[in-house]
Structure 1
Amino acid sequence: MSDISYYTPEGLKKLKDELKQLETVDRPFITQQIADARDKGDLSENAEYHAAKEEQGHLETRIAKLKNIVSNARLIDDSKVDNSKVYILSKVTIENVKNKAQMEYTLVAENEADLKEKKISIDSPYGKGLLGKKIGDIAEITTPNGILNFKVINISR
């Protein structure tokens, strides 16, 4: 089953670069490790061989997952996104209704989320709570610590 995900050009490039690294650098390296370990003799007691085979399995799983993600990725045309509501790629300023603390986040695809860069996933509790809200709306966000209320102060790109 394929899940279409939306990405910025930078986010999609990052995924493609990782896939290229895994296929062109990491895969040949592990293949060489397996060949070197095989040359050492009895495979039944060769820990290096078994470790390399296990690492190869993890690598091939990651490559398959990334290929699936890239094949179902769609670029977002930022010029056609409505600025009156919070959508993916919206930069939204929110205010905690209780303590009046303001925060600014950009909503992105799950694979692009990075809290240090103030990019949150649209699939996170905050992202889900903010999607579709307009300036002045109150977003109820369910967190492990309970329900938090945030007022949408500004929406931009």
Structure 2
Amino acid sequence: MHDELTQVDIDKMKEELQHRIQVLRPQLIEEVKVARSFGDLSENFEYKAAKREKNRNDSRIRYLENMIKTAVVIDGTAAGDGVALFDKVTFYLEEEETEETIQLVTTLRQDALKGLISKESPVGKALLGHQVGDRVCIHVSDSYHYYVQIRKIEKTGEDPDIPISTF
């Protein structure tokens, strides 16, 4: 499966990749060497911690390289009146009788705690293309779904300041 990402997503990943390879990797390799010099590796916490950080960085490098290589670049501009990528959407949750505002983003920039919801999530998939006033069914699983009514769509466009996710 290929991730649909914008050119801004790709550029941010390339920037992080360059930093991790050129700056962070040499630092972490040096930390491993210094920790190794402390002696007995079986009881050397500093060595284990340095090695773990180096491996974590290497893992992130592989992840970024793979994402860049396999990504499908999409246009982040909205067309028409319906909900599109990067739009802020205010909707009424019928079940809870509350309003919520979210922004639809690419999978790489999702952060539910900040209201950044992936276009691949159940909410994102359901809202895409719908217009103000539409009642939309959100299918969470085969046994659970709920309804929302779109109250407002704000065409914001892509915000390059939204960071990409890390692990």
Class of the TM-score when normalised by the shorter of the 2 chains = 0.7 to 0.9
Q: Which runs of 5+ in 1 are unaligned?
A: none
Deviation at 1:46, TM superposition (A): 4.2
Q: Which runs of 5+ in 2 are unaligned?
A: 156-167
User: In structure 2, the residue corresponding to 1:3 is in which secondary structure?
Assistant: coil
Deviations 1:19-60 (A, max 9, x none): 233223321111001222333455555443343233222211
CA contact (8 A) 2:76 2:86 kept: no
Counterpart of 1:87 (choices 70, 76, 84) is 84
Deviation at 1:127, TM superposition (A): 1.1
Write out aligned runs for 1:33-48 (5 A). 33-41=31-39, 43=41, 46-48=44-46
User: In structure 1, the residue corresponding to 2:149 is in which secondary structure?
Assistant: strand
For 1:66, the equivalent position in structure 2 comes to 64
Deviation at 1:154, TM superposition (A): 2.9
Change (3 A) 1:37 1:98: closer
For 1:131, the equivalent position in structure 2 comes to 128
Counterpart of 2:152 (choices 149, 154, 157) is 154
CA contact (8 A) 2:76 2:85 kept: no
User: In structure 1, the residue corresponding to 2:120 is in which secondary structure?
Assistant: coil
| In structure 2, distance between residues paired with 1:104 and 1:46 | 49
For 2:3, the equivalent position in structure 1 comes to 4
- The RMSD of aligned alpha carbons is 2.9
For 1:140, the equivalent position in structure 2 comes to 137
For 2:22, the equivalent position in structure 1 comes to 24
Structure 1 length normalisation: TM-score? 0.75
Amino acid in structure 1 at the alignment position of 2:138: I
| In structure 2, distance between residues paired with 1:8 and 1:97 | 36
User: In structure 1, the residue corresponding to 2:131 is in which secondary structure?
Assistant: coil
Q: In the alignment, is residue 96 of structure 1 matched against residue 96 of structure 2?
A: no
Give the length in aligned residue pairs.
153
CA contact (8 A) 1:5 1:69 kept: no
Deviations 1:80-129 (A, max 9, x none): x3232222222222122355533222200122123454321112221122
Deviation at 1:149, TM superposition (A): 0.9
CA contact (8 A) 1:83 1:156 kept: no
| In structure 1, distance between residues paired with 2:18 and 2:136 | 40
Deviation at 1:61, TM superposition (A): 0.8
